[in-house]
């Protein structure tokens, strides 16, 4: 029993070292990607450069995806979902002013439910699996990445104190974690924009950890504490019109969702390395496993089972 715990502890610690993470746990997807990596478009190349340097990059559906993407289809599907769920959204708005229990994220309504279905006939899955999106995820991780999460968030405007992911934090699903946030409404400073502390990702130069407090068992940092490690002029506030796309390595410090005047609607998806023991936050439908495209094969491969820690996206 003690030997098993020690082995698990050693294996878990090994995942925190980049060389072992890449060349031991993720050797297959790393070598496969290097042998057949796609050439990036100019805009994807710019996004990758910003991601590597700052940990965050801002583009748009038009610039990155072009005219033949499924962005317009996604936008139309979300308009319909908003209409279909309007009563639920307003009920959640009322509840959010009454109950603000830590751990419940009452300020976000997931339009696809807590566990959406991974159905490749649905635009919600297909959007994350577009070649342009996969190209950025694979290039940033330096390997074929795996899709772990997708949903549509309707963030409710609130006047309560910042809590949970409205405060600065790191995600912990992997050494590198790439998330995309696609704005489906105009997002202003008053809409709770995604905000990132540049250089706090592993590829960055910021190594100072800000002070923190513990909220519901999770480390959180407020603005005055974050300013002690990263000055506010180095915070990227991701405001932008509908169609803005933000890519970020959320293993770096970030926050979002503190909407004060305007609701925020966005689509989000998350990619990790195949060896990450992050739980999948979707339900699988019957999928083919005979993919000619290796990027799709890795993105859709079932997760490994194992005793390692499983963490919820935050």
Q: What is the CATH number of the domain that holds 36?
A: 2.60.120.620
Q: What is the pLDDT of residue 10?
A: 56
Whether 117 is covered by a domain: the verdict is: yes
Q: What is the pLDDT of residue 305?
A: 39
Q: How many domains does the chain have?
A: 1
φ, ψ of residue 57 in degrees (nearest 5): -150, 140
Torsion angle of C-alpha atoms 310, 136, 35, 30, degrees rounded to 10: -20
Containing structural domain, residue 290: 2-300
Whether 309 is covered by a domain: the verdict is: no
User: Digits of tens for pLDDT over the chain (314 positions)?
Assistant: 566 665 556 556 567 889 999 999 999 999 999 999 889 999 999 999 999 999 999 999 999 999 889 999 999 999 999 999 999 999 999 988 765 666 567 899 999 999 999 999 999 999 999 999 999 999 999 999 999 999 999 999 999 899 999 999 999 999 999 999 999 999 999 999 999 999 999 999 999 999 999 998 999 999 999 999 999 999 999 999 999 999 999 999 999 999 999 999 999 999 999 999 888 999 987 766 666 788 999 999 886 633 333 333 34
Of the candidates 155, 264, 162, the residue with the CA atom closest to the CA atom of residue 221: 162
Q: What is the pLDDT of residue 11?
A: 59
Whether 305 is covered by a domain: the verdict is: no
Q: What is the pLDDT of residue 290?
A: 63
Cα–Cα distance, 171 to 249 (Å, whole number): 9
Whether 308 is covered by a domain: the verdict is: no
């Amino acid at each position: 029993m003690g030997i098993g715990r020690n082995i698990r502890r050693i294996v878990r610690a090994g995942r925190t070292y980049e060389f072992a993470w890449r060349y031991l746990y993720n050797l297959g997807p790393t070598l496969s990607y290097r042998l057949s990596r796609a050439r990036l478009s100019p805009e994807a190349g710019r996004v990758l450069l910003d991601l590597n340097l700052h940990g965050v990059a801002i583009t748009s559906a038009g610039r990155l995806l072009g005219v033949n993407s499924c962005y317009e289809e996604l936008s139309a599907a979300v308009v319909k979902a908003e209409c279909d769920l309007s009563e639920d959204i307003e009920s959640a708005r009322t509840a959010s002013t009454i109950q603000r229990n830590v751990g419940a994220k009452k300020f976000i309504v997931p339009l696809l439910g807590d566990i959406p279905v991974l159905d490749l006939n649905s635009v919600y899955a297909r959007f994350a699996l577009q070649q342009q999106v996969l190209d950025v995820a694979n290039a940033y991780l330096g390997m074929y990445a795996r899709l772990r999460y997708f949903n549509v968030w309707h963030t409710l405007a609130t006047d309560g104190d910042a809590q949970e992911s409205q405060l600065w934090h790191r995600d912990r699903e992997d050494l590198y974690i790439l998330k995309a946030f696609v704005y489906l409404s105009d997002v202003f400073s008053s809409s709770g924009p995604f905000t990132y502390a540049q250089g706090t990702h592993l590829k960055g130069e910021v190594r100072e950890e800000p002070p923190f407090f513990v909220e519901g068992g999770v480390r959180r940092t407020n603005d005055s504490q974050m300013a002690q490690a990263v000055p506010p002029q180095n915070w990227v506030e991701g405001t932008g019109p509908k169609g803005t796309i933000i890519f970020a390595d959320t293993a770096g410090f970030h926050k979002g969702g503190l909407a004060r005047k305007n609701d925020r609607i966005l689509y989000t998806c998350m990619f990790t390395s195949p060896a990450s023991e992050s739980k999948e936050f979707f339900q699988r439908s019957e999928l083919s496993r005979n993919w000619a495209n290796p990027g799709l094969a890795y993105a859709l491969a079932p997760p490994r089972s194992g005793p390692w820690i499983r963490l919820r996206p935050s």
